[in-house]
Chain A
Amino acid sequence: MFSSRECLLAIALVVAGGAALAQKFEGVGRTATPAELKAWDIDVRPDLRGLPPGRGTVAQGQDLWEAKCAGCHGVFGESNEVFNPLVGGTTKDDIKTGRVAALRNNGYPGRTTLMKVSEVTSLWDYINRAMPWTAPKTLKPDEVYAVTAYLLSLADVLPADGELSDKNMAEVQQRLPNRNGKINTRTLWPDGQRLKPDVQGSACMKNCVTEPRISSYLPEFARDAHGNLAQQQRLVGPQRGQDTQRKAAAPVTPAAAKPVMALLQQHACLACHQVDSKVVGPALREVAARYRERADRRDYFSDKLKNGSTGVWGPVPMPAQAHVPEAELKAIVDWLAEGAKP
């Protein structure tokens, strides 16, 4: 940020020093005016340089959030329908340590914004410059404080009656769950290119590996997931594209061919649920166990999947999954009704 007083000073300095430098390219460019600098110089750094004065409460932020943010991000920042979830995966203990424990867990699905962010200014600056999604740069500073405050309250960084302002920003920074979660190894920073790389391959030319073993390939059900590959290759040359939409000898319905885990993956169920442990939503096995005795559990699950659900397993709502085709929905429901077995 550049105050108008600083700008005037800068302009004064031009007369003394800048003129000679600009002389080589005479007639090109001009001095920026204070008003121009104020209009565009909006960046905020981790040391709070550039942060405008202002304040906003969690409560004010919630109203703004529901009006301008919830459509994409969900009322509680949990939605994965449009973007990756913003909230989830952090604990009160993380706020103490400054390291998000779930990031050490290899099985933890997905990473939310609040699991990753280590500078509160990164949130403020981005919301200020780029949000709301379809009307960026329309929030006033107080509104940016309020929205950021509400977002932080969803991860218990701020209390429900809390406030965020230029005055307490540094304090709030000290409560960010992943504030100690970053390292800067300079080997991948462009000025570290002379440093030794952290990964080095082998230059071996003869008898290098004893036996190559294929450990991963595309499962058959994903064969046409990227469309018909025959239509994505040139029609002339040493090869053609594979006709991935030609049906196999004994055609099977996609739902029957796809294991339930693939459906859970495809329809992003696994973004919020794991089979065995609670994530954003409850463990699927726990869901299956709770309704095990209900005779109408298939209808019940079907309804919850199609129409969504609130308040059954806690405050985070489950969005409606109306996009799941009937046959695939039935496969998921049957699997749940039978105990969500692996």
Chain B
Amino acid sequence: MSDASRPARLLRAPENFIDLPGLAAEPSPEGRRRLLRGAFAAASTALLAGAARGQANPVPTEGGDPHILNLPPHSMALGQPVALEGYGKPSKYEANLQRRQSPGLTQTRQASVSFAPLQGLFGIVTPSGLHFERHHQGWWDIDPSGHRLMINGSDEKMLKRPMVFTMDELMRLPSVSRFHFIECGANTGMEWGNVAVPTVQYSHGMLSCSEFTGVRLIDVLDMCGVDLKRGRFVLAEGADGSSMTRTLPMDLVQRGEVLLAYGQNGEMLRPENGYPLRLVVPGVQGVSWVKYLRRIEVGDQPWASKDENVHYIDLMPDGLHREYTSTQEVKSVVTTPSGGQVLLDKGFYNISGLAWSGRGRIAKVDVSVDGGRNWRPARLQGPVMDKCLTRFNLDWVWDGKPALVMSRATDETGHVQPNYSQLRAVRGTRSIYHNNAIQTWLVQESGEVKNVQLS
């Protein structure tokens, strides 16, 4: 209850309160004003739209909150029976979180991509139904009883015995289950030159993470008597219309990391993700994780397939294309708060996001709320796994002033995620693939969060 005649009570700043670090420490007040002006310039038009409304939770003037005082039907009646849904679905209140296409990106939905709604996901596992999709010639729901895997060599000496396996047989072999991220090489590709999309779903949503179950490819190659001295490369081929092919170095296979996977998050792969068999190539861009996998060929040189020679090549400033660029380098993004959202009020927030590296484990994530002037280490949520998403969190008290929120990951090899200036200085602005730059979100005074790039 408020009493206007009483002097206002002094409230202690919450723990970890920070007063826009760096901006407060700015030696020249001019610098702070300039930053704010810049932020306002970007913000001005968006202010018109106004703030979103959250759940009001004021101290009631009399009695109490009707949501407490008046018992709802679900407290006073009989609920639904078991097995009403043989395969359960998310709450109807969660219908906004869908994988979505970016309008205009492609002209056909069979050669297209849908983005995972990272803005609404918790932890590191992507629900299978929200896993991003990339199809080159449409997806299929293939009858596993007719699916075969063939292993052969590019000549008669590459392996001793070309073999054929049924799904029954592959699923009899010793299995492993591992958590790994999968990221399309073109993730964040629309942002190489400038800001192009509004939310983290479209800027970073060609990213998912699952527990995959399958057989180590090296075990199956061993069964065929592979010549590992000559056979330094492997070709993976799909059974769908595009029969996607990609070359992998045998080095990766020999490390036992590459899996012939049939399981995803405790169930079989989803059809959109390659049911009944796909390759899992940890740390490597998604295009190499060939879906509907039908064949593995061992050879002594790369194949220069269409998706190695025309697409998934990186255009450099000198006009040369880098080919066979596969590793997804260290990267991170803040998902809360992120573009397209409106913060409900000033006060405490848990800044949260995802970090990953195709070179190994995440060692550290730093977060800045002042446009990269000052950084604080975030808490890494365990378990921190190899070539897997890592969730990070950081306490933040938003004072209602414009803030530039960013994250920067470092992996166990010491590789630090670059900012746009550092990335463009080497790779220019015309590439499509392997954009691992630091993402910046501008939190405006209205609470609206906007995708911005800094120079």
Contacts and interface: CB of A to CB of B under 8 A. Distances in A.
A217 B242 contact: no
B297 interface: yes
B18 interface: no
Contacts of B309: 116-119, 122, 182
B319 A216 contact: no
Nearest to A266: B104
Contacts of A266: 104
Contacts of B54: 240
A211 B337 contact: no
B56 to A, nearest CB: 13
Nearest to A205: B375
Query: Among A28, A46, A223, which residue has the most Cβ atoms of chain B within 10 A?
Result: A28
B373 A29 contact: no
Contact of A226 (B34, B199, B423, B452): B199
B49 A119 contact: no
B438 A201 contact: yes
Nearest to A30: B164
A13 B103 CA distance: 55
Of A1, A13, A25, A123, most B-chain CB atoms within 10 Å? A25
Contact of A40 (B295, B306, B341): B295
Given A199-B422, A202-B416, A104 B104 contact: no
Interface in B324-344: 324-327, 329, 336-337, 340-344
A242 B49 contact: yes
Contacts of B270: none
A187 B413 CA distance: 13
Contacts of A231: 96
A230 B97 CA distance: 11
B251 A191 contact: yes
B448 interface: yes
Interface residues of A, number: 118
Contact of B195 (A7, A13, A216, A248): A216
Contact of A130 (B137, B314, B324): B137
B224 to A, nearest CB: 7
A187 B120 CA distance: 34
B340 A232 contact: yes
Interface stretch (B67-75, B80-88, B154-162, B271-279): B154-162
Given A118-B309, A200-B422, A226 B295 contact: no
A274 to B, nearest CB: 15
A43 B310 contact: no
Given A136-B137, A182-B313, A217-B453, A190 B251 contact: yes
B119 interface: yes
A214 B42 contact: yes
Interface stretch (A16-24, A53-61, A291-299): A16-24
B243 A136 contact: yes
Candidate in B104, B197, B243 with the most chain A CB atoms within 10 angstroms:
B243
A67 interface: no
Nearest to B194: A216
Nearest to A119: B304
B165 interface: yes
Contact of A212 (B349, B373, B376): B373
Contact of B245 (A43, A226, A236, A244): A43
Interface stretch (A31-39, A157-165, A277-285): A31-39
A256 interface: no
Interface stretch (B2-10, B139-147, B426-434): B426-434
A40 B25 CA distance: 66
Nearest to A250: B48
Given A14-B160, A40-B295, A116-B321, 16 more contacts: A17-B225, A31-B162, A43-B235, A49-B155, A101-B319, A116-B309, A118-B304, A125-B303, A183-B320, A213-B454, A214-B453, A214-B455, A226-B198, A232-B340, A240-B54, A242-B341
Query: What are the nearest 7 A-B pairs in CB distance?
Result: A212-B371, A240-B52, A201-B416, A104-B319, A126-B306, A215-B455, A188-B325
13 contacts: A28-B173, A31-B161, A101-B319, A118-B323, A181-B321, A182-B313, A217-B450, A218-B197, A225-B103, A233-B341, A235-B96, A241-B341, A242-B49
Interface of A: 1-2, 6-7, 9-11, 13-14, 17-18, 21-22, 24-25, 28-32, 36-37, 40-43, 45-47, 49-50, 81-83, 99-101, 103-106, 111, 113, 116-119, 121-123, 125-126, 129-130, 133, 136-137, 178, 181-185, 187-193, 197-218, 220, 222-223, 225-227, 229-244, 246, 248-249, 266
